[in-house]
Each structure stands twice: as structure tokens, then as C-alpha cells.
Amino acid sequence: MSMETHRRCQLTIIAEYVLESRLVALIGHLGAQGYTVHEVRGGSFSTEGERRREGAGEIDRTIEVKVICEREVAEAIARQVLDEFAPHFSVRLLLSEVEVLRPAKY
């Protein structure tokens, strides 16, 4: 039996912990119906292959915010985050297509 699905866009924002309340306010202001926030840790590697840890201390904690909404809303949020926060904070943005079962929730 096939389920009816509906396409939406998932915007994932990985950013500094201090931005959480500002990101949540922006997400609501631009029309998303909800979001999920997780505290995350990550790292990167230097060109020599040396591991560099990010989000290791209390000060440099990192969050991942996920928003599932219409593509236009996700792009508006992403544009605002790039304009307002990316010049001054560590921010990563990802857009992906997802399928949902209850479209009224998104």
C-alpha cells in the first residue's frame, strides 16, 4: 500500500549556541510553523589531516536547528541568516527536499 506524501523543504542551520533565541524568533517571524533544536558537536580537519574540534567548551557550544516548511519560507530564512548572522558568527546552512505525511503541520 502506497502512502500519499507531500514535498517540503528542510532547512538545517548549524550555528553558535548564542544565536538560538534570535534564530527561533526569525524562523517564527518568517512563517515557519515549527522547528527542532539540538545541541551538537563537530570538528574539521586541517590540510595536514590534523583534527580540530569545534564546540568543545561551554563558550563555543553549537546547535543544529531544523525547520521543515515550504521552499520559499526556507529560502527566506536562509537569506536572512546569511545577511544578519553569517558575517559575524559561525553558521552553516543546508537545504534538502523531504517528504511529509501530514502537510498541514508544515
Amino acid at 25: A
Q: Where are the domains of the chain?
A: 13-62+72-101
Taking a C-beta distance cutoff of 8 angstroms, is the pair 75, 13 a contact?
no
H helix runs in 10-70, sequence order:
20-29
Question: Class of the 13-62+72-101 domain?
Answer: alpha beta
Average predicted confidence (pLDDT) for the chain: 90
54 compared with 13, residue with greater pLDDT? 13
Given a cut of 90, whether residue 22 has pLDDT beyond it is yes
Amino acid at 40: V
pLDDT in tens, 30-80: 999 999 999 998 777 777 767 665 545 556 789 999 999 999 999 999 999
Measured between its terminal Cα atoms, the distance across the chain in Å is: 24
- Which pTM was predicted? 0.86
